[in-house]
Structure 1
Amino acid sequence: MNEPVAVTGLGLVTPAGEGTDATWDAVCRGAGTATHDPALAGLPVDFSCRVPLSPEDLDRRVGRTAWRMSRNASLAVLAARQAVRDAGFDPGTWNGDRVAVVIGCGLGADAVREEQAGRLAELGADMVSALTIPQIIPNMAAGEVSIALGARGPGLAPATACASGATAVAVARDLLATGQCDVAVAGATEAAVTPLTSVGFWRMGALSRRADAPAGASRPFAADRDGFVLAEGAGVLVLERTEDATARGARPRALLAGCGSTSDAHHPTAPAPDAGGAEAALRTALADAGLAPRDVDHVNAHGTSTPLGDAGEAALIARVLPHRPSVTAPKGVLGHGLGAAGAIEAALTVLTLQHRTVPPIANLGAPASEFDIDCVTGEPRRQEVRTAVSHSFGFGGHNVVLALTRAP
């Protein structure tokens, strides 16, 4: 069992807007953000959840180095700066040698890859950007965050598909526990709303096809769910050892008490039918935190709105947590941010603990009749949440669960 670490800062850039307040307000309203997307016009699925920042807006926010960054990296830098500021740090004065950066992603800068491949095919080699490789390699968001913050400690870029953000947070906790850093800037980013990505997921049957009402398309745990909505965004948390946070007078937003990671070893894309690997991740996170299943007050579910995924997760929750803790699923509002989702949802779980409020699941009147779980619907629920778990599951059979507790 590891000592809990303090979450002292949060940064979010999501389809609900820039900053934690914008995203928290949106998930509490419970209204979906999906809209028709001009970049996807004419494709089988032509809607998505995009961050409401144009390339020009994002460049202005990021500043003088934005010219060399992909959207993927820019979103990460923006969220990381928010989180560090929220934690009360000044990167100009901290000891950067003791600051780690762990920023995961699932697909990375797919838009750059598609654009430059098109230029090569249509215009020739001389018209391909010299920035192509620095922009598309999956570690570059972590690299740009390190550069922006002057963070010279360990720099890592986990890629565990849709569990990447949660993996990054778990890895950062381990870096703190083993003394490899004193501050960890951890999270994930994704900006892969592109024609090829959309069509690829559509061919798999993973996307909702509710083009007549995009805002209502993502409906986790509903009987008539038919797939997820492609989204982008970034989420970053600042983690410190609790004694270090106390020593500098910082008040933790919450505590990261335990982490569990497992693999299904079952199938490239389908979850294990019995959700055995996900269950093992949940039980490992709770054991790591010194908690029993009955201690869990709330579940921030992976809740993708896919038929197989939601069924397995609902069965898992009912089996391991039969006392029926409250359940929410932010993807109903924000869509599926792929590699960024786990970090965004970990941040929202921290806010649930802080605000003693559980946001509702968008587009859900009641869970499917076969699901014996307590989904929060309609309005936010006031609740004394002391312990919560955040689930993240990814293609390849990656399962990551984070256990968080309210700060004293």
Structure 2
Amino acid sequence: MSSTNRTVVVTGIGATTPLGGDAASTWEGLIAGRSGVKPLEQDWAADQAVRIAAPVAVEPTEVIPRPQARRLDRSAQFALIAAKEAWADAGFEAKAGEDPTVDPDRLGAVIASGIGGVTTLLDQYDVLKEKGVRRVSPHTVPMLMPNSPSANVGLAVGARAGVHTPVSACASGAEAIGYAIEMIRTGRADVVVAGGTEAAIHPLPIAAFGNMMAMSKNNDDPQGASRPYDVARDGFVLGEGAGVVVLESAEHAAKRGARVYAEAVGQGISADAHDIVQPEPEGRGISHALQNLLDRNDLDPAEIVHVNAHATSTPAGDIAELKALRKVFGDDADHMAVSATKSMTGHLLGGAGGVETVATVLALYHRVAPPTINVENLDPEAEANADVVRGEARKLPVEGRIAALNDSFGFGGHNVVLAFRSV
């Protein structure tokens, strides 16, 4: 097909997170304001400055047959679980080619990871050192590749229109979904399976993040450690899991009678050009991404009633994002209910944009915004710039079409903002 500007919709959702093994249980946990953060019980955690994390609620080996799981890095296991749920939720009964409602040549997959198969790489290096060359798994390279999750999802659904792996640190999952929207808009595909995954709860990443002073060391209160916008916030909590959506052209979805969760309006992208780790303190890069979203898409700021914020619980990043929202939207920011779901899931790095897209879409579908938990003393700068949903979930307007944003930002200054609209 030639270049077009087709409407894109969300027809399937899937997730495996610290709050639940699927999208429904994850959503229930978010609305209930439940934390998935726990003490680390592994022997290696005793020597760490950070001894808390947010592991998945359901181990992937409870879902994936063990022979298959042994050939997949943990990040690919999560992606496959979430993608299969989203695929079935969209109403597809088999992979493309076997299901007559989807053409494999018109099906794509875009699954991102910020770090990739780090646990496979580090574990197999330990095997090499301790047991020798012959004991290293022959599956190591296909497992550790950053594109392993997307490749395995593409194989599972039979995608032949293109399988891609954006890597933009903590913005990776959102960038994958934005890329997928463009694949459909421009006519490359009719259907794309898209999202993000991460599995980095391992002694090396935790030691490294801890030594950067990026993570919370509130080991005595795990469930209260991730506290975006609180004056006492002291860093993020590492989480793991995946979130995946099925995107379709509105025409293709209508032809097969698919249920539609929301319209995927589009994306806005920018870069800070400021620092490899620190965000630009005034949120200028984020402002550019938000403005880019408005300039490139049919979106009225008055429609936007909800923002799923990046809000990792770091002193600088949380406020920079809210300053950007205020700068771009002005008084319209007053009617945007801001939720920081990382207060419950922890920070899934490259998987965050995928999981938070699922949350954003469900917020529109059910017309309710999840709470931000653990905000005991709201930062005055947060209060001055945004309407933070605290304590318990908040109903969104029940009449008319409403829109919501999902913000994702990453080391290196990557900024991605996604917009969705109710149908």
TM over 0.5: yes
Q: CA deviation at 1:2?
A: 4.7
Matches within 5 A, 1:4-403: 4-39=7-42, 40-54=45-59, 56-60=61-65, 65-90=68-93, 91=95, 92-93=98-99, 94-321=102-329, 322-323=331-332, 324=334, 325-365=336-376, 367-371=378-382, 372=384, 373-384=386-397, 386-403=402-419
Write out per-residue CA displacement over residues 216-257 of structure 1, whole angstroms, 9 at most, x where no aligned residue.
100111111100000101010100111111111112100111
1:404 and 2:420 aligned: yes
Using the alignment, how far apart are the partners of 1:134 and 1:250 within structure 2? Answer: 34
Q: CA deviation at 1:123?
A: 2.1
TM-score by length of 1: 0.96
- Residue identity matched to 1:15: P
Distance in 1 of aligned mates of 2:57 and 2:372: 22
What do the CA deviations read for 1:86-111 (whole angstroms, capped 9, x no partner)?
11112231322211000000011211
Q: 4+ residue stretches of structure 1 with deviation over 6 A?
A: none
Distance in 2, matches of 1:234 and 1:405, equals: 22
Whichever residue aligns with residue 334 of structure 1, its letter is T
Helix, strand or coil: the match of 2:380? coil
Listed one character per residue, the Cα deviations across residues 287-312 of structure 1 (whole Å, up to 9, x for unaligned) are 32222333321111001000011121
* SS of residue in 2 equivalent to 1:135: helix
- Asked if the contact 1:14–1:232 (Cα under 8 Å) also holds between the matched residues in 2, the reply is yes
Question: Is this contact kept in 1: 2:5–2:186, CA < 8 A?
Answer: no
C-alpha displacement at 1:128, in angstroms? 1.5
Contact kept? 1:59, 1:67, Cα under 8 Å: no
Structure-1 separation of matches of 2:305 and 2:377: 20
Distance 2:144 2:23 in 1: 27
Deviates more, 1:177-186 or 1:361-370: 361-370
Deviations 1:253-304 (A, max 9, x none): 0011121111111111111122111111111112322223333211110010
Contact 2:13 2:23 in 1 (8 A): yes
Q: Report if the CA contact (8 A) 1:286-1:403 is conserved.
A: no
Give the total of aligned pairs. Answer: 405
Letter paired with 1:348? A
What code does the residue aligned with 2:267 have?
C
Deviation at 1:64, TM superposition (A): 5.4
Which piece of structure 1 moves more, 317-326 or 140-149? 317-326
Alpha carbon RMSD of aligned pairs, Å?
Answer: 1.5
Q: Compute the TM-score of the two structures, normalised by the length of structure 2.
A: 0.93
Deviations 1:4-47 (A, max 9, x none): 31000000110011111111111111121110112333211111
SS in 2 for 1:33: coil
Paired with 2:70 and 2:156, the residues of 1 have a C-alpha distance of 14
Instruction: Say if 1:2 and 1:258, in contact at 8 Å, map to a contact too.
Output: no
Contact 2:16–2:58, Cα closer than 8 Å, also in 1: no
Shift of 1:320: 2.2
AA aligned to 2:223 is: A
SS at match of 1:180: coil
Query: Cα distance, 1:3 vs. partner?
Result: 4.3
Aligned-pair CA distance for 1:55? 5.4
Amino-acid identity (%): 41
Change (3 A) 1:55 1:380: closer
Judge which range, 210-219 or 37-46, deviates more. Answer: 37-46
Asked whether the equivalents of residues 258 and 287 of structure 1 are also in contact (C-alpha less than 8 Å), the reply is no
Letter in 2 for 1:137: M
Is the deviation greater in 16-25 or in 315-324? Answer: 315-324
1:58, CA displacement in angstroms?
A: 4.2
CA deviations on 1:22-80 (whole Å, 9 max, x unpaired) are: 111111111211101123332111110000233532433xx753231111101101100
> Whole-Å Cα distance in 1 between the matches of residues 81 and 234 of structure 2?
33
8 A contact 1:258–1:286 mirrored in 2:
no
> CA–CA distance in 1 between the matches of 2:31 and 2:135?
46
Give unmatched runs, 5+ long, in structure 1: none
- Counterpart residue type for residue 211 of structure 1: N
Give unpaired runs (5+ residues) of structure 2: none
Secondary structure of the corresponding residue to residue 364 of structure 1: coil
Separation of aligned partners in 1, 2:87 and 2:343 = 28
Instruction: Report the residue type matching 1:32 in the other structure.
Output: S
**1:288 & 1:347 partners in 2: Cα distance?**
23
Secondary structure at the counterpart of residue 156 of structure 2? helix
SS of the equivalent of 2:239 reads coil
